[in-house]
Structure 1
Amino acid sequence: MESPLPLLYLDVDGPLIPFGGDPARHRTHLTARRIRELTGESNPLLARLDPAVGHQLAELPCHLIWATTWFDDANTCIAPLLGLPALPVLPDPPHTTPRLPPGVHWKTPALTAHAAGTPFAWVDDEITEADREWVAHHHPGPALLHCVNPELGLTDRDFTILENWLRHPA
């Protein structure tokens, strides 16, 4: 019996919309007109989304899940620009979440609980060693916490790492 595909939790700001550093270094891939046609939005940061990244994400052997403060807006504002279908969204953590240890991102316990032992990769620009320790102690399955440089966003090197891990979660 074939095991289920791993999950890939995906942040938007940083991995998909590069930011920080010299603004002149950030390429634009979409015109304001195209963004409005596809989403009805006029957020200038959306021009930094590279539609080719959407194809690369769709080719990965995993189930994609938004893990972003964009929440459901990722499906209306981001997915159409990347050519992706609507994706599941990591739920907002309950307001009764216990106090987390220093350095643990609010997403960490939420995605660990959501994965429920299923192998997963998490792509974000805010992953810390505290997050890695939390996952090691609270997730019984394999997990890859992949930190992306927010000035660059996802690169070919990042996709190589993700593809290799997702094909053989360890």
Structure 2
Amino acid sequence: MNAIEENTVHPSRPLLALDVDGVLSPYGAGRLPGYVPHQVRPQAWVDWSAMVYPRPSHLVVQLNPAIGERLEALPFDLVWVSAWTEQELAALLGPLGFTQAPPHADLKGATQRTFFLRVDDPGVSPDAKGDLYWRSQDVLGWANRQDRPLAWLAPHFPKTVRRDFADGHAAPVLLHEVDPAAGLTDADFTALTSWAEKVAALEPAPAVVPRQCRDCGDRSTTVIAGRREDRVHAACGSCCECYCPIGDGSDAFQSCGDLESERCTRCGWCRICGCGC
């Protein structure tokens, strides 16, 4: 097997977000042809299994050494959106047949939560649906920072997650469900290739050059109803994460931006947010 090299990034290509359980490692149907079982103990699973009785001693994942090469041949930039750590994922690259190491997405806030999730979760997780929702929000926030077409592979996408991505990500999105009992099949690779070809044929989206916030210095945009919006307000020059005094004499602020020019003279509240008059 070839040595694992650093991943080559092609910014013009769409991103392909990968996870382990139910995507690269099938479960629920026994041993599959071409797959080799491995015993592992990722920390996210250890945290999750602490709530299970009787507590399992290890996790068995099935890995196919032909999958990595097929994924690398797709017209995508691969990236992990897994709860597994970079070190834990690095140990899977060889058994999966990867020749390059995909980067790990910076899911801000995800390190604060346990995100080992399976479609067949027996109910021992305290809030499996909630965890899945918050994980999708982390992935959505990361995808918006990349501002590139995204295909995400997972065993299941609830309607709420599909709606959030349709409304909250301006670039094309494919939320592709993989049968967790079968893993990635020829049909999945065909669907991914077809979608990437359609995206490549689209006209490029108009560029949005965000203005710098006078308070925090950040330059970024947000997405509202599928459209990119400049986060810096034209009237005051501040972004939506800087301060807008409520006007009650306290240090509390609203998260709409420092809109002093839009501040109601009677109650002190921002007229954009809705004053108290």
Q: Structure 1 length as normaliser, TM-score? A: 0.77
2:36 to 19, 23, 30: 30
Task: State the one-letter code of the partner of 2:35.
Answer: H
1:49-71 CA-to-partner distances (Å, cap 9, x unmatched) read: 11111111000111100111213
Q: Which stretches in structure 2 are left out of the alignment for 5+ residues?
A: 1-9, 41-57, 114-128, 203-277
1:62-97 CA-to-partner distances (Å, cap 9, x unmatched) read: 11001112131453222122232221112344149x
Matches within 5 A, 1:37-48: 45-46=60-61, 48=62
Matches within 5 A, 1:35-114: 45-46=60-61, 48-84=62-98, 85-94=100-109, 95=112, 105-114=133-142
Shift of 1:27: 3.8
> 3-state SS of the aligned residue for 1:145?
strand
Cα contact 1:66–1:74 (8 A) shared by 2: no
* Structure with greater helix percent: 1
Rate the CA distance shift 1:141–1:14 in 2: closer, same or farther, 3 A: same
Is it true that 1:16 corresponds to 2:24 in the alignment?
A: yes
1:3-44 CA-to-partner distances (Å, cap 9, x unmatched) read: 710001011100111112x42x53463376xx9xxxxxxx77
Rate the CA distance shift 1:16–1:104 in 2: closer, same or farther, 3 A: closer
Q: Which moved more, 1:64-73 or 1:83-92?
A: 83-92
> 3-state SS of the aligned residue for 1:75?
helix
Inter-partner Cα distance in structure 2 for 1:156 and 1:106: 31
Number of residues of Structure 1 aligned to a counterpart in Structure 2: 153
Rate the CA distance shift 1:152–1:5 in 2: closer, same or farther, 3 A: same
Shift of 1:167: 2.2
Inter-partner Cα distance in structure 1 for 2:36 and 2:85: 22
Inter-partner Cα distance in structure 2 for 1:4 and 1:18: 31
Inter-partner Cα distance in structure 2 for 1:31 and 1:145: 27
Is it true that 1:148 corresponds to 2:162 in the alignment?
A: no
| Cα RMSD for the two superposed structures | 2.8
Rate the CA distance shift 1:56–1:28 in 2: closer, same or farther, 3 A: closer
Which has the greater radius of gyration? Answer: 2
1:116-143 CA-to-partner distances (Å, cap 9, x unmatched) read: 2310000011322211101011101100
Inter-partner Cα distance in structure 2 for 1:77 and 1:127: 27
Which of structures 1 and 2 has the larger relative contact order (alpha carbons within 8 angstroms, sep 6+)?
A: 1
> 3-state SS of the aligned residue for 1:9?
strand
Inter-partner Cα distance in structure 1 for 2:85 and 2:162: 23
Cα contact 1:65–1:88 (8 A) shared by 2: yes
Rate the CA distance shift 1:104–1:69 in 2: closer, same or farther, 3 A: closer
